[in-house]
Amino acid sequence: MKRFLMLVAVAAVAGVMYVAASPASQQSRVPTLKQFNALKKQVASQGKTLKQVVQLAVAEGVLLIDCSNQGALAVDQFGDTQNQTEGYRYTTHANLAAPASDTLTSAMDFAVPTDQSAVFFMGGDSTCATDLNSNAIRHAAAKAGIQLPRLAHAHSFIARRP
């Protein structure tokens, strides 16, 4: 019986030593004031960034809603510019009745939505144009630390002779 109690006592002491030595039983230390202030500053900075990202997301959402309220239109290029066997009639001559001065050229035109080579343009109203011409999204992106690319040149749909 003494041997059994001695075995239980040794096992109990070994168990207590194992539990005391394990990393889970160690008490965590409280952060220093310097660590706490650094963490507080980091959380405040991330809060400002989050607010700016939310503002950008809202501005983008408004733009998408305003610019997609008319649906999407399929557009494709039609005509044969190289051989000029088919296409749209283009003239720079003041007299439209002079077909000799005309050129057959390709041009963009509306296409059926199932056209495999068509490009889709979202349609909006004047609210979309106002949104696009304002710098609200560019400013919101800049505040969030995002630099949006600028166009190298403005796109134009003015007819030009090939």
Domain that includes residue 137, residue range = 37-69+124-147
Predicted confidence at residue 135, as pLDDT, reads: 78
Q: Do both 42 and 83 map to the same domain? A: no
Rounded mean pLDDT, 12-19? 71
Alpha carbons 145 and 147: distance in angstroms, whole number = 7
Strands 107-110 and 71-78: what pairing? antiparallel
User: Which candidate, 110, 114, 112, 92, places its Cα nearest to that of 102?
Assistant: 92
Q: Do both 65 and 139 map to the same domain? A: yes
Looking at the domain assignment, is residue 9 inside a domain?
Answer: no
Predicted confidence at residue 99, as pLDDT, reads: 62
User: Which candidate, 127, 120, 20, places its Cα nearest to that of 72?
Assistant: 120
Q: In terms of pLDDT, which residue wins out, 129 or 56? A: 56
User: Which candidate, 70, 73, 156, 158, places its Cα nearest to that of 111?
Assistant: 73
Q: Within 13 A of 41's CA, how many CA atoms are on the CB side?
A: 6
Out of 37-41, 46-50, 53-57, 88-92, which region has the weakest mean confidence (pLDDT)? 88-92
Q: Do both 42 and 64 map to the same domain? A: yes
Predicted confidence at residue 41, as pLDDT, reads: 92
Q: What is the mean pLDDT of the chain?
A: 75
Q: Do both 75 and 111 map to the same domain? A: yes
Looking at the domain assignment, is residue 24 inside a domain?
Answer: no
Looking at the domain assignment, is residue 15 inside a domain?
Answer: no
Q: Do both 42 and 118 map to the same domain? A: no
* Structural domain count, the chain: 2
Looking at the domain assignment, is residue 135 inside a domain?
Answer: yes
Q: In terms of pLDDT, which residue wins out, 150 or 154? A: 150
| Prediction pTM value | 0.47
For CA atoms 33, 38, 44, 50, the dihedral sign is negative
Amino acid at 47: G
Q: How confident is the model at residue 43 (pLDDT cuts 50, 70, 90)?
A: very high
Q: Do both 128 and 55 map to the same domain? A: yes
